[in-house]
């Protein structure tokens, strides 16, 4: 099976997405890419969004899952700590994006929410996780304020800004 072949939801084993080291991270990154293709196909099949809109949603979920949850935190996307979306949107995205933007972030968060809704529809994540992801994705005014506060940092204010939404240390 090619790395461009979507995973079949019925064959997904969440334990296959555990990250215990660099080799696992590389393997899980590939699996996650294929998972996102399956999410894309599911969203397209609904017919209520254009291919461009679906692509933007999946791009957002991809940034969150592969660049942050897996690569930075070492998380299994199916057993995501509920605070991860808030840490991503309120800290990592802002400090790792050349020009963080509230509108772009809203699209990314919509993609994360849509992805987790699809995973829940297939029984791959708990309803509580989807609720936490959805709630964190809805905190747009807070994230916009975090972006404004980031641009207003002077002197030693970065430590105060960072402490308001700290990133967790990578799990072993």
- Structural domain contains residue 51: yes
Query: Which tens digit of pLDDT belongs to each residue from 104-140?
Result: 999 999 999 999 999 999 999 999 999 999 999 999 9
Question: Is 3 among the domain residues?
Answer: no
Domain membership flag for residue 2: no
Q: Is residue 4 part of a domain?
A: no
Domain span holding position 27: 9-163
pLDDT averaged over every residue in the chain: 93
In the chain, the number of structural domains is: 1
Residue 161 to residue 149: CA distance in whole angstroms: 7
Q: Is residue 172 part of a domain?
A: no
Residues lower than pLDDT 70 in the chain = 1-4, 170-172
Alpha helices (runs of H) in 63-168, residue ranges in sequence order: 84-87, 93-95, 102-121, 127-137, 140-151, 157-163
- Is residue 32 included in any domain, yes or no? yes
């Amino acid at each position: 099976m090619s790395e461009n072949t979507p995973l079949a939801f019925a064959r997904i084993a969440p334990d296959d997405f555990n990250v215990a080291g660099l080799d696992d991270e590389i393997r899980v990154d590939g699996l996650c890419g294929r998972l996102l293709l399956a999410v894309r196909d599911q969203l397209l099949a609904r017919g209520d969004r254009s291919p461009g809109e679906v692509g933007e949603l999946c791009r957002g979920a991809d940034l969150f899952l592969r660049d942050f949850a897996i690569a930075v935190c070492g998380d299994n996307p199916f057993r995501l700590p509920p605070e991860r979306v808030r840490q991503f949107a309120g800290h990592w995205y802002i400090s790792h994006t050349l020009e963080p933007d509230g509108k772009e972030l809203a699209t990314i968060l919509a993609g994360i929410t849509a992805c987790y809704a699809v995973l829940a529809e297939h029984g791959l994540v708990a309803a509580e996780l989807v609720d936490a992801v959805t709630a964190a994705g809805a905190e747009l005014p807070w994230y916009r304020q975090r972006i404004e506060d980031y641009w207003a940092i002077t002197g030693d204010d970065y430590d105060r800004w960072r402490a308001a939404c700290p990133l967790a240390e990578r799990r072993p």
